[in-house]
Amino acid sequence: MRMKHIYISCWMPIVGFCLSSLGIAGVTLAFATFLNPANCSGQIRFTGVNLFGAEFGESSLPGNYGQHYTYPIAAEVDYFLGEGMNTFRLPFRWERLQRSALAPLDATELSRMDTFVNYATSQGANVILDPHNFMRYFPDPNNFQTSSQGLVGVDPNVPISVFSDFWSQIADHYKDNDRVIFNLMNEPNSMQTSELVVAENAAIAAIRETGAENLILVPGNQWSGAWAWNETWYNGPNAVHMLNITDPLNNYAFDVHQYLDNNSSGGSQGIVSATIGQERLVNFTNWLQANNLRGFLGEFAVGDSTIGNGPSQIGDEAIDNMLSYMEANDDVWLGWAWWAAGPWYTNYFFSLEPNNLGQPNQSDRIQMDVLRPHFADVLGDLDGDGDVDEDDHGIWANAYALDDQGDIDGDGDTDGSDFLVWQRELWKTTTDRSQAFGATTAVPEPTSISLLLFLASASIAHRKAKLT
């Protein structure tokens, strides 16, 4: 059984510290190192979904917005947060955000991304930025996943400096938003693993040079498959070369993907066995534990037709076994993101997009029932009793401006922003998170002035109490 809301600060020379607020989904990872699981308590912190659409139209680059690609919308954010998720992985195309090598980021495209990122993070979500490029920039449009054209560090037109420049600009733009996570690349493949490490280290260095302290997710080679972590393709396995990843802040984790069909591609709804997901994560998990590292499952899924009571419908058992295994090894696993949901792919067999979003007849996909028991604990549940209520507000009030016991937003202190998150999450429970999303009508929305007066009076009261 996972414990909730025990605050542990593990101070370690050189490697920094790991502030682990168990059960707080919005924990700030900007200052976390995650290098010593033995000393820092673990827990699955990020549970969410890929929201695709911005990476569509790979053969039409940069393409036309609204025709070749789109971005997820606020209604999707609201729905998945209401269900209890707390993280969105946002796939997008590098070529749209940066129209030519070393050029400034395109202002129009960046504004589209900002619209989604700013809304989602303002609601307490974490957003993983994922250039969905397979380590390629303007590849052959007929072979955008494995083309030698545009391969970073291999194609002379795309040196590693182009990749690091891209990440430097993104990091500089989002460095003040600690809910933004940088996923260096989606599914690199068909290059030497040692060369991939050089490129990723260059990008990490460029990110840190901007002053950004955000969590960085580092993919491996061979489409970053967990099952292939020890395979010897591409002049050496990920398990050897990825030990050479260097981050001056040690605030990174390895992003892997794992599907359950016979070739781990996710190209079909086939599932090898009810335990195959767990089995394919074992070697990677052992590697993380042996090297005091952290992992994140960036893609996984089962099809809707695999869930049920028939003899071949083992999708629910397979997912439950897989996620339970990660929870049992949460000293090294940070979380996961389902593949996928989005406004343009509602008939996709892996889609988690609700039926008839925003309509009176809106309904969940069948996979949601399988995932819901594995969501990270309720944000704002400070006393760990499974719901957000006035008792949690009391903990916040007693800790206001004094310590971090009321820290709901994960920024390391107890202040007015934590109150606003508590207010938004009021009445949510672990058993039915969706029924009360947005139920802040129970507590009237404060105006800016009244909120400031409230916080000021609370601060004065606690200062007096501290002095006496």
Q: Tell me how far apart the alpha carbons of residues 426 and 433 are, in angstroms, rounded to a whole number.
A: 10
E strands, 191-251, in order: 216-219
Tokens of 146: 């494995």
Amino acid identity of residue 152, one-letter, is V
Planar angle of CA 92, 259, 234, nearest 5 degrees:
75
Identify the active-site residue in 83, 299, 353, 425.
299
Q: Catalytic residue at 187? A: yes
Q: Which two tokens stand for residue 374?
A: 């594995």
* Closest to 54 in 3D by CA, of 104, 103, 111, 101: 111
The three-point CA angle 99-101-107 to 5° equals: 35
Find the catalytic residue in 76, 83, 95, 187. 187
Q: Can you tell me whether residue 42 is helix, strand or coil?
A: coil
**Torsions phi, psi of 218, nearest 5?**
-110, 120
> d(Cα 290, Cα 10) in Å, to the nearest integer?
20
Q: Residue 307 has what DSSP assignment?
A: B
Rounded Cα gap, residues 271 and 260, in angstroms: 5
Give, in order, the Cα–Cα distances in Å from 337 to each of 86, 126, 420: 10, 11, 26
The string of DSSP letters for 348-393 reads: -TT--PPBTTTSTT-B--HHHHHHGGGSPPPTT-TT-SSB-SHHHH
Question: Both tokens of residue 248?
Answer: 């001056």
The pair of structure tokens assigned to 380 is 């704002």
- The answer to whether 81 and 123 have CB atoms below 8 angstroms apart is yes
Query: In Å, how far from its chain's centre is CA 122?
Result: 15
62 contact partners, CB below 8 Å, separation of at least 6: 93, 95, 96, 99, 109
What Rg value do the Cα atoms of the chain yield, rounded? 22
Q: Are the CB atoms for 310 and 22 separated by under 8 Å?
A: no
Helix axes 315-328, 276-290, angle to 10 degrees: 20
Identify any residues that bridge with 336 across adjacent strands, giving them in sequence order.
Answer: 47, 297
First to last CA, the chain: 40
Q: Is 55 annotated in the active site?
A: no
Burial zone of 142 (CB within 10 Å; 0-12 exposed, 13-18 middle, 19+ buried)? exposed
Q: Annotated active-site positions, please?
A: 187, 299
